[in-house]
Amino acid sequence: MRIPARFAPIVFGALLSLIMVAVVSAVVLASSRGIDADFASRWVTSCLTTWPIAFPTVTLIAPRVRRLVELLTR
């Protein structure tokens, strides 16, 4: 199953935000509460809570960041 190329920006935003939310929430939870028996459930809850915010943010901001990088690296 392939996703049409016209959806590339949305797929990019979904994957990038999912990876970032997973990594950052794991690091924050581990550093603030430690890794214990409840870590996995707290991590999943954190991801499910923050990903709906991260996904549209990354999707909307990425084009602007790309343009800014182009301006800064000419």
Domain ranges of the chain: 14-72
45: confidence class by pLDDT, cuts 50, 70, 90: very high
What pLDDT does 1 receive?
Answer: 84
> Region 28-54: what's the mean pLDDT?
96
User: What's the mean pLDDT in 1-30?
Assistant: 95
> Do 30 and 39 meet the contact criterion of CB atoms below 8 Å apart?
yes
Tokens 């990088």 label which residue? 69
Instruction: Please give the model's pTM, rounded to 2 decimal places.
Output: 0.83
Q: Which CA distances in Å does 22 have to 6, 9, 19, 25, 66?
A: 26, 20, 5, 6, 23
pLDDT tens digit sequence for 49-58: 999 999 999 9
